[in-house]
Structure 1
Amino acid sequence: MLGCRPPPTAARRKPQAMKIYFLRHAEAEDGANDAERELTAKGGEQSRLMGQLLAALGVEFDRAFTSPLVRARQTEEIVLAQLPGRKKTVIEETDHLLNEASDTSVAQWLAGLKKADAVLLVGHMPSLGLHLARLLGIRQAPAVSLPKGALAVIAWEPSSLAELKLFITPKQAGKLLRRAAP
């Protein structure tokens, strides 16, 4: 038939946005060598709570990225250990999550991850907050502030601004998990 149009629902379908999980490393020890600072006991607990929350939400990551600094790697390892689908997750270290990375280079790098539906980024302030703010369209300082161990989730397509889906601290995650416990 000439002039037939696809059903309205087919015309409105958009490609699914990538979900990006921005996680600031949990509490770490004070120390002179910044790259080697390890998580404190509280930081380990913060990481476990965030992992338990993600597991309760049924989150499975296609890819997980971390800064090469020890506290970020430890945070990621503890979080991912709580998830049932962990074995399918590709884990990579990247300098894109260090404070020296520009928000432009990070956006370009993320745009190149087109085949990933859910991506975990574990990094540091202030850059993690700056990258998150830029994807949300926030151009003025201060950037988004993520407390230690906090998680922000966005839905993002490279051609548009991101949409904030969740912002939660480890303390809030603990309260939610206790309420949900049988």
Structure 2
Amino acid sequence: MDSEVQSPRVEWTVVPSDIGPLLLAATGQGLVSVAFHAGAAVREREPARLGTRLGAEPVESAAGRLAEPIRQLAAYFEGRLTAFDLPLDWSLTTGFNRQVLRELASGVPYGTVVGYGELAERVGQPGAAQAVGAAMGANPLPVVVPCHRVVESDGGLGGFGGGLETKRRLLALEGVLPQPLF
């Protein structure tokens, strides 16, 4: 019998990025989580939390399942990649949130933004802008599933789980906002 079936694993590692260290995790299905600000506290709690939520053993590894996500994220931050082509494991999200995140991943390309209300309309739920905001806050795959591209209809940045400075930096990288002065 396949060892993945007998003993599912979550492989994880921490990688540096232009927005600080990111903790990446993958299952046999694909990339399952990207966590911002992966300092000691995040490194301590996140693998175990993922293991519990996914019913899988967390194993630290920068090879195997994570090699391609690491490569693509590095290329993205270097400005050489504008669309991720990775298998994604959507098991940490369900229902409306999953529907919104899938629309975001496929329908809001690099260098563009969408309003919370417009994204709600795209998934057939006009008037659900606040629920879209909640879905963005629960996004287990930020950067790859680009919740930083969702903004307020009046041009405001809106919220962001990684912090507004991180959102500004990602939008500046994609040419949506001017680069910060320093």
Q: TM-score scaled by structure 1?
A: 0.27
| Bigger radius of gyration among the two | 1
Q: TM-score scaled by structure 2?
A: 0.27
